[in-house]
């Protein structure tokens, strides 16, 4: 049976001080699947993917036409515009989470954005990070996994992050022309990054039976997937292009299945089959169970979710309903250690904060080791206690708890707030420590840094 605390704090983003007790937490969670708004007000001013692609193509054209001495200036201008778009996206993401009346689905968007991880450490990605979540993740989070997979694989942020935009078949028309024109100059070649990460991270998972030969064949099928080039008024809204002369010709064989040489559709067909594979169902089920229920999900739980995935052809709302049902079958304890992003959001929500400037959230999450859209690898941020619970990380949370309490706490009475935001989980020891604190700010900091608040 799901209680109010599990619904709000583990499956949601954290309780708020004005939240009313929910008579039927399971129904409240499932109702959000109907009420979710993909682009709520904080997201509506964000530059969409087509706008960012237009700026990208303009920059590429400007670099080609500019004298060598001016190209650095062109790149710097583009980078400044990209950083502005990034910060606007960070603010939209944060404020959307703080204001959301559908926090379960909002958490799901964060889960999928981390599953299909990109990183602004790669400069060209900087301006596309927000539009990636706005256009590839949020509209598809309540659709089919297959469509979500295709949307992320084709998005400019992913194509740039994993170098797919320059991957060229060794025997393609483009490669042959380049070799004939300049036989002694190295030409762009095949890049395996996107193919490998789709197999290893986005679909089948590691040790699922695919081989290096499968990676190479899939990479060959993906050649030609890139960004639009110099745009015309007719295709100004395009965000993806199949460049036929970069595509490696030939039939491809991936995981024992052959795919005809039919251009863009070759890789699309592979992606659709990967999306429906039993190993993909198991991989997705494991990650969802780990994120929402427990660090080490039992096999019976994983099988339950995977079976639902396969029965419905990857219908995500059906999978989420099964997840909510499964969450009600485990002991109602705060079993998940919050990541820095989770903890910061839940702390701000607990204090009733509705908006935070991008620079502030960047400082807070950066100090805690989880800046937005900036994981250290395509695997995304870790999702288990060991990733975030080191002693030095806990000390930083105590420091940030003090900052949050001082900056946002105002006249909040932590003694009254604690049972409202930790319904059913507030311990006597934590309640006593809060009551005996030297000041209201210290009391609030103790609440935010308490063992109960660190977990969900």
Which pLDDT belongs to residue 234? Answer: 53
- Strand pairing of 257-259 and 252-254? antiparallel
Q: Across the chain, what does the average pLDDT equal?
A: 95
Decide: residue 49, CB within 10 A, 0-12 exposed, 13-18 middle, 19+ buried: buried
* Whole-angstrom distance, CA of residue 351 vs CA of residue 269: 48
Q: If pLDDT is split at 50, 70 and 90, which confidence band does 380 have? A: very high
> Quick one: what percent of the chain has pLDDT higher than 70?
97
Across the range 90-99, mean pLDDT stands at 98
Q: If pLDDT is split at 50, 70 and 90, which confidence band does 182 have? A: confident
Tokens of 428: 């006597």
* Whole-angstrom distance, CA of residue 164 vs CA of residue 169: 11
- Strand pairing of 225-226 and 252-254? unpaired
Tokens of 210: 């695919």
Asked whether the beta carbons of 351 and 21 are under 8 A apart, the reply is no
Which pLDDT belongs to residue 237? Answer: 74
**326-360 per-position pLDDT tens digit:** 998 877 676 899 999 999 999 999 999 999 999 99
Q: Where are the domains of the chain?
A: 162-293+296-334, 340-454
- By mean pLDDT, which of 236-245, 343-352, 358-367, 393-402 is the weakest? 236-245
Q: If pLDDT is split at 50, 70 and 90, which confidence band does 187 have? A: low
**207-232 per-position pLDDT tens digit:** 999 999 999 999 999 999 999 975 55
Across the range 22-43, mean pLDDT stands at 97
């Amino acid at each position: 049976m799901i209680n109010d605390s599990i619904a709000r704090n583990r499956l949601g983003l954290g309780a708020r001080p004005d939240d009313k007790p929910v008579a039927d937490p399971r129904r409240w969670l499932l109702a959000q699947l109907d009420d979710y708004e993909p682009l709520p007000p904080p997201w509506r001013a964000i530059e969409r993917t087509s706008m960012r692609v237009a700026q990208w193509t303009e920059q590429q054209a400007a670099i080609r036409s500019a004298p060598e001495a001016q190209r650095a200036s062109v790149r710097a201008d583009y980078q400044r515009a990209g950083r502005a778009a990034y910060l606007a996206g960070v603010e939209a993401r944060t404020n959307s989470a703080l204001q959301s009346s559908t926090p379960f689905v909002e958490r799901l968007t964060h889960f999928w954005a981390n599953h299909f991880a990109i990183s602004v450490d790669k400069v060209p990605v900087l301006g596309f990070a927000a539009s990636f979540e706005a256009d590839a993740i949020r509209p598809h989070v309540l659709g089919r996994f297959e469509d979500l997979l295709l949307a992320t694989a084709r998005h400019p942020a992913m194509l740039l992050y994993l170098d797919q935009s320059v991957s060229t078949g060794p025997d393609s028309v483009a490669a042959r022309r380049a070799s004939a024109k300049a036989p002694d100059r190295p030409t762009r070649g095949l890049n395996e990054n996107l193919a490998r990460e789709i197999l290893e991270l986005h679909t089948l998972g590691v040790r699922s039976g695919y081989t290096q030969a499968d990676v190479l064949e899939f990479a060959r099928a993906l050649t030609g997937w890139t960004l639009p080039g110099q745009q015309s008024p007719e295709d100004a809204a395009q965000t993806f292009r199949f460049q036929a002369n970069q595509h490696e010709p030939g039939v491809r064989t991936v995981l024992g299945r052959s795919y005809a040489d039919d251009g863009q559709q070759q890789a699309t067909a592979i992606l659709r089959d990967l999306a429906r594979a039993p190993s993909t169902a198991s991989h997705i089920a494991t990650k969802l169970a780990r994120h929402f229920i427990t660090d080490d999900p039992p096999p019976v739980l994983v099988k339950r979710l995977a079976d639902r995935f396969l029965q419905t052809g990857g219908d995500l709302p059906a999978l989420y309903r099964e997840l909510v049902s499964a969450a009600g079958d485990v002991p109602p304890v705060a079993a998940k250690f919050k990541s820095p992003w989770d903890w910061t959001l839940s702390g701000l929500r607990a204090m009733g904060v509705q908006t935070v400037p991008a620079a502030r959230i960047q400082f807070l999450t950066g100090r805690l080791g989880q800046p937005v859209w900036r994981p250290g690898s395509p695997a995304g941020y870790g999702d288990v206690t060991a990733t975030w619970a080191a002693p030095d990380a806990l000390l930083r949370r105590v420091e940030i708890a003090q900052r949050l309490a001082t900056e946002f706490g105002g006249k909040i009475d932590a003694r009254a707030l604690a049972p409202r935001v930790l319904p059913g989980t507030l311990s006597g020891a934590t309640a006593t420590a809060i009551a005996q604190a030297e000041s209201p700010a210290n009391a609030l900091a103790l609440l935010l840094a308490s063992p109960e608040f660190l977990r969900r």
